[in-house]
Amino acid sequence: MQITHQLDGDDAAATIHIEGLKQNLTILHITDSHMVVGDERDPEASEHIDRFSQLFEERTPGNVPPHEIFEQTIDNSLQGIDAAALTGDIIHFPAHAAIEKIARGVEALSVPTLYTLGNHDWHFPHLPWSDETRAAYYPRFHGLTDPNPACQALDIGGARLIALDNSNYQVSAEQVDFLRAQLDGPLPCLLFVHIPIWIESLAPAVIEQWQAPIMMATQDGWTDEQRERWKVPNNRDSTEACLALLKDGPCDNLAGIFCGHVHFPHIDAFRPGRYQYVTKPGFAGGYRLIHLKPTS
């Protein structure tokens, strides 16, 4: 499948020309809005709201609450999109009121939408950061995701959108099998995850920003102290298998990977002719419009 990326340095767009695509498609990508919202239904969150609200308002355009930036992005995107993908950390912790804020935004878009979780979506600051905590809060997101938030797919206009939850820096063998199955077909595919996959040329910018290589399947750069602080274990065999599939395996119909997490935009190839797009965080006014176009 012939796929060509139109690389023009625009952090708010991606244009991909795809052989055999039958129509133009535009997909809205939002990530890392970090909305800090809660109410009496989550009293344990109240002590965190003021602190994290102030933290992110200092980083938003105009120093407004992140939920206002999210609403503005939604309002400005109501025309001309065919689907949307939200790749996690849209909220800073899983309060009921925050999840309802996402749901209202998704409803306003009125297009098919994929939602995959980030590491903050499911984690309250007072709880352990663990797979058990994530599993305990998965049910709160079932109105936004498939019954299994770990693996999702959506076909739209002759293209397939795939979402994997890699918010613990790992993917399971079941997720890799799901990805292979989705890619084993004629449709061009886009993969949406929260945490970027490790690309050697992305690593220096990530380490400069975070003093740690906070990517999925990082091949080097971690210290034991950093792993403990970030709660990132050594790569599972399944995570290594996923990286191998994406970089060298049979997935020529995978047009691109779209993600967030590191809070800056970046574009780079994960294999020849195929690119990973890290989107600017939503709290900073970021989003990306993904334009898929038939090869002329």
Q: 136-153: per-residue pLDDT in tens?
A: 999 999 999 988 899 999
Residue 1 CA to residue 256 CA, distance in Å, equals 13
Mean pLDDT estimate for the chain: 95
Q: Which residue has the tokens 């690389």?
A: 7
Distance between CA atoms of 285 and 59, rounded to whole angstroms?
10
The span from the CA of 52 to the CA of 124, in Å, is 12
Cα separation, 248 vs 87, in Å, equals: 24
Q: Which residues pair with 293 in a beta bridge?
A: 17
pLDDT tens-digit series, residues 275-284: 999 999 999 9
Instruction: Report how far residue 174's alpha carbon sits from residue 293's, in angstroms, rounded to the nearest whole number.
Output: 32
pLDDT higher than threshold 90 for residue 1: no
Rounded CA-CA distance 75/202 in Å is 32
Sheet containing 266-271: give its strands across.
151-156, 159-164, 189-192, 254-259, 274-278, 266-271
Distance of CA 277 to the CA centre of its chain: 10
Model-wide pTM > 0.75:
yes
Cβ atoms 230, 216 nearer than 8 A:
no
Helix, strand, coil shares of the chain, percent, nearest 5, are 30, 25, 45
Supply 219's token pair: 């091949």
What length does the chain have? 296
Taking only the tens place, the pLDDT of each residue in 190-224 is 999 999 999 999 999 999 999 999 999 999 889 99
pLDDT at 77: 85
Q: Could you tell me the two tokens for 183?
A: 């890619």
Q: Which domains does the chain have, with CATH numbers?
A: 3-294 (3.60.21.10)
